[in-house]
């Protein structure tokens, strides 16, 4: 990263976690704990072991093995880019400057999620940012179903990582809109927020294409929860598919988005990379009548 150095490594630690820290003047470190690597590997093996996978697809013509390899790369990539987001957007030094509240911490986690997801969405799904402005496009000649397939896989992988974090401090379900005591928002809220991010990234797409891709992302997350429930021999909550369109999830996300109005100006002096942080906005605390995700 320009103007400072980021070192990385694997730290022998049983915690299921990764971290970003200051280690010197303009020097940072990202550490992946062995506990998290092992837990991610366990979950990925559990999901794909003796379980019928998707049929071969032109995105992954070798079928399940190629998809599993792609998932592993995404799991590691999301974790590292999430921690890089904490550094790039000033979270690490901001957290050293004041006592963070639970709402502050959850907001910074959501911002790091967005940082990582934006990079992965471009690098993995195949969409490209236009040369002018902030619009995105699907490259000419790339089939929409390949982009959708990879977007679905991205939703599954991000949800898997969020579920690993959730194991440290489970949050209640259904989500009521009240902020939980965890450092992270509930997984379904994190997915909802990223669905909203993708909707912004895909804003220049035709509406049917935009809705198709957002639906693929949410479908990936929900199918992953269903697979985990099956393999872990626990019931799959049939209410979960509706949770992304629930008032509780909307209000939880709106609370985080509106808290950004307070945190954003405090965070700007610590930002380490060019460009602006996400724009502040006044987000309605209740969804419009009849609202559902596309």
User: Beta strands 136-137 and 128-129: pairing type?
Assistant: antiparallel
Q: Does the predicted model carry a pTM greater than 0.85?
A: yes
| Structural contact between residues 256 and 106, judged by C-beta atoms closer than 8 angstroms | yes
**Residue listed under structure tokens 């999430």:** 82
Query: Pick from 106, 119, 120, 130: which is nearest to 187 by CA?
Result: 106
First to last CA, the chain: 37
Beta strands (DSSP E) in the chain are: 5-11, 18-24, 27-33, 128-129, 136-137
**Residues found in the chain:** 294
Q: Whole-angstrom Cα distance, residue 5 to residue 272? A: 11
pLDDT, one tens digit for every residue, the chain (294 residues): 567 889 999 999 999 899 999 998 889 999 999 999 999 998 888 887 755 555 555 555 556 677 788 889 999 999 999 999 999 999 999 999 999 999 999 999 999 999 999 999 888 888 888 766 667 888 888 889 989 999 999 999 999 999 888 776 666 666 777 888 888 998 889 998 999 899 888 888 899 999 999 999 998 988 888 888 888 787 776 666 666 778 888 899 999 999 999 999 999 999 988 777 888 889 999 888 766 654
User: Beta strands 128-129 and 18-24: pairing type?
Assistant: unpaired
């Amino acid at each position: 990263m320009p103007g400072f150095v980021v070192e990385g490594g694997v730290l022998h630690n049983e915690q299921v976690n990764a971290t970003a820290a200051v280690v010197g003047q303009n020097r940072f470190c990202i550490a992946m704990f062995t506990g998290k690597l092992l837990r991610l590997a366990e979950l990925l093996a559990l999901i794909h072991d003796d379980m019928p996978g998707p049929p071969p697809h032109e995105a992954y013509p070798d079928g399940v093995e190629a998809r599993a390899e792609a998932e592993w790369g995404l799991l590691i990539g999301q974790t590292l880019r999430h921690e890089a987001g904490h550094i790039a957007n000033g979270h690490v030094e901001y957290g050293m400057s004041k006592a963070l509240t639970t709402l502050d911490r959850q907001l910074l986690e959501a911002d790091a999620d967005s940082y990582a997801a934006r990079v992965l969405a471009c690098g993995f799904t195949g969409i490209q940012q236009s040369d002018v402005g902030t619009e995105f496009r699907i490259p000419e000649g790339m089939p929409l179903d390949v982009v959708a397939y990879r977007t679905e896989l991205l939703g599954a992988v991000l949800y898997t990582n969020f579920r690993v974090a959730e194991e440290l401090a489970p949050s209640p379900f259904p989500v009521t809109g009240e902020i939980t005591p965890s450092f992270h928002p509930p997984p379904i809220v994190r997915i909802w927020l990223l669905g909203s991010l993708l909707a912004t990234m895909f804003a220049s797409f035709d509406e049917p294409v935009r809705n198709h891709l957002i639906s693929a992302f949410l479908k990936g997350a929900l199918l992953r929860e269903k697979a985990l429930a099956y393999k872990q021999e626990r019931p799959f909550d049939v209410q979960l598919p509706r949770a992304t369109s629930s008032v509780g999830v909307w209000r939880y996300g709106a609370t985080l988005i509106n808290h950004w109005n307070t945190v954003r100006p405090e965070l700007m002096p610590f930002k380490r990379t060019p460009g602006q942080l996400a724009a502040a906005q006044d987000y309605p605390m209740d969804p419009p009548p009849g609202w559902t995700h596309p």
